[in-house]
Structure 1
Amino acid sequence: MAESTEAPRAVPAPAPDWTPPPAAAPATTRRERRRTGAEIWIVLGLSLGQSAVYALVALGVRLYDAIAASTGLDSQTATLNASRSERPYLDLVYQVLAIGFALVPVVLALYLLSARGPGTLRRIGFDAARPGRDTAWGFALAAAIGVPGLAFYALGRALGITVTVEASALDPYWWTVPVLILSALKNGLLEEVIAVAYLQERTADLGWGRWKFILASSLLRGSYHLYQGFGPFLGNVVMGVVFSWFYTSRWGRHRVMPLVVAHTVLDVVAFVGYASVPDAWLRALGVL
């Protein structure tokens, strides 16, 4: 039998399991870049940038007080979830209103991104398309960040460069735990949507590379925690590097939901745990 002279067909290479979503065309004209830059500053000025400025001022006041009193920052206290009224139900109303209004910048950021056309939420992974995978990655990230974060806090306390962080000062009402959970979710949405998803999209429009974005996002995250001292600042910079790197990696796949889950879990443990764990345990952990 004569051998076939037909050339063997090439076997196509398997497609990669994930490719980054197509990037929008970056701002090319000077006017477009200026508008994009102004938009970033406006969104940050209404949200995390505002918090960063207040945190920097608070740190300056704390340092001045520490020097004047010849004591360390560890002698001062920062309260995260403070009571807003002596009347329980009025306090509840104020707490819910504060959480709701704090999320308005998130809605604004998503609205501005939607100018690109439909599919904005899917583009940044702010949807329920992969609940199992997002939740699994979220808990894994929370575990990876939680222990080092506590270590940075304890080290800062030992060195006298971190204030005592009181995670909750709410009285034990029936609504205290639900409000703390909502506060944790608010932090996860606000910080991850704006400091990661929104900022990555907009800095990409400006032509920024991946690592420039990671540096900016991480320093921003650390800056609005400066009121807690230098330990939490460094810990949150590390958290920012891990989260922004993961978001832009083949594992994160430009999905912000795992970051929201991770951040919410971390804050729920911190807020509810602080209110539930005996003071003796907190002192043993170096939290008090």
Structure 2
Amino acid sequence: MTVPATPLDRRRLLHETWLVLGVSLGASAIWSALSILKRLADNRPLNQQASQLNVSRAAQSWLDLAYQLTDIALALVPVLLALHLLHREIDSPARFLGLDRRRPSSDLRWGLGLTAVIGVPGLALYLIARSAGLNTQVVAADLGQHWWSLPVLVLSAWQNAVLEEVIMIGYLFTRWTQAGWRLPQVLVVSALIRGSYHLYQGFGGFVGNVVMGLIMGAVYLRTRRVMPLVIAHALLDTIAFVGYALLRDHVSWL
């Protein structure tokens, strides 16, 4: 993997990455680790506990919508920060990371392929881990019945995708390579961090997302484009969020 030269030394590069993680997904990993410890201290098995995503934040519909949109917007600030930091050495960081529309057909093919490769085994792993008492019940959507609920779930899916793939793959792979890390080390550490901020779901969520991180990272190293990863991640989360909202009252195992 070829990266541009940087005036920053190894120590400053690593400090920068830990700070970016500290205001984004690294902070989520810490809270997630505390969450799983709290769950394990509970007398109930993990599969009798629930992890709620996309929950209502206010009784008034308009205020709840304002909360949801603000959450989505603020969660993308670390992405802008990462691109801003890369801009010191790279004229167009988004283009360098492959977060653009230069190859729409190729990006879509890769994205759809990744969705199939990760989606079905991921669902199977979730069900197996939950039946084994190693995972919580994931309540993927609980926004109530509003005209804006489904569009907000789609926006939330895309926000997750952009945040995770730009930070965990594009930005970290670039910075850690510049810092002299070998690619296998970059790939594994990034995947482990990805798994750790999903620990709140249980150990199945951790393992599944580590595997997802390894696959996403390997595809990035081959394509040198983040966009296919964003497409796949967004599709996976959209199916999970919207599918849960539409089917939760009709499918018992959800």
- Matched residue, 2:10: 33
Listed as ranges, the gaps of 5+ residues in structure 1 are: 1-19
Would the aligned equivalents of 2:169 and 2:190 in 1 still touch at CA under 8 Å? yes
Would the aligned equivalents of 1:40 and 1:199 in 2 still touch at CA under 8 Å? yes
Normalised by the size of structure 2, how large is the TM-score?
0.97
**Aligned residue type for 1:151:** A
**Aligned residue type for 2:230:** V
- Matched residue, 1:221: 194
**Aligned residue type for 2:128:** L
> Equivalent residue of 1:78, what SS?
strand
Alpha-carbon separation, structure 1, partners of 2:210 and 2:135: 15
Greater Rg, structure 1 or structure 2?
1
- Matched residue, 1:269: 239
**Aligned residue type for 2:200:** Y
Would the aligned equivalents of 2:46 and 2:134 in 1 still touch at CA under 8 Å? yes
Normalised by the size of structure 1, how large is the TM-score?
0.86
- Matched residue, 1:200: 173
**Would you say 1:44 and 2:17 are equivalent positions?**
no
- Matched residue, 2:213: 240
Identical positions, percent: 47
- Matched residue, 1:89: 62
Alpha-carbon separation, structure 1, partners of 2:238 and 2:127: 19
Would the aligned equivalents of 2:10 and 2:180 in 1 still touch at CA under 8 Å? no
- Matched residue, 1:114: 87
- The Cα of 1:25 is off from its aligned counterpart by 2.8
- Matched residue, 2:31: 54
- The Cα of 1:184 is off from its aligned counterpart by 0.2
The 1:181/1:137 distance shift into structure 2, 3 A limit, reads same
The 1:83/1:223 distance shift into structure 2, 3 A limit, reads same
- The Cα of 1:278 is off from its aligned counterpart by 4.4
The 1:271/1:39 distance shift into structure 2, 3 A limit, reads same
- For residues 139-161 of structure 1, the C-alpha deviation after alignment (integer angstroms, 9 at most, x for no partner) is 11011100111111011111101
**Aligned residue type for 1:182:** L
- The size of the alignment, in residue pairs, is 254
- The Cα of 1:121 is off from its aligned counterpart by 1.6
> Equivalent residue of 1:149, what SS?
helix
- The Cα of 1:135 is off from its aligned counterpart by 1.2
> Equivalent residue of 1:165, what SS?
strand
Alpha-carbon separation, structure 2, partners of 1:202 and 1:23: 8
More displaced stretch, 185-194 vs 207-216: 207-216
- For residues 190-232 of structure 1, the C-alpha deviation after alignment (integer angstroms, 9 at most, x for no partner) is 0000000000000011111111111011101100000000011
**Aligned residue type for 1:62:** R
Would the aligned equivalents of 1:247 and 1:256 in 2 still touch at CA under 8 Å? yes
- The Cα of 1:26 is off from its aligned counterpart by 6.2
Alpha-carbon separation, structure 2, partners of 1:108 and 1:232: 28
Listed as ranges, the gaps of 5+ residues in structure 2 are: none
- The Cα of 1:119 is off from its aligned counterpart by 2.8
Alpha-carbon separation, structure 2, partners of 1:154 and 1:223: 19
Taking only aligned residues, the RMSD between alpha carbons, in angstroms, comes to 1.3
Choose which of 95, 105, 111 in structure 1 pairs with 2:78. Answer: 105
Would the aligned equivalents of 1:26 and 1:207 in 2 still touch at CA under 8 Å? no
Alpha-carbon separation, structure 2, partners of 1:278 and 1:206: 46
Choose which of 46, 52, 67 in structure 2 pairs with 1:73. Answer: 46
- The Cα of 1:172 is off from its aligned counterpart by 1.3
- The Cα of 1:243 is off from its aligned counterpart by 0.3
Alpha-carbon separation, structure 2, partners of 1:278 and 1:227: 21
**Aligned residue type for 2:57:** R
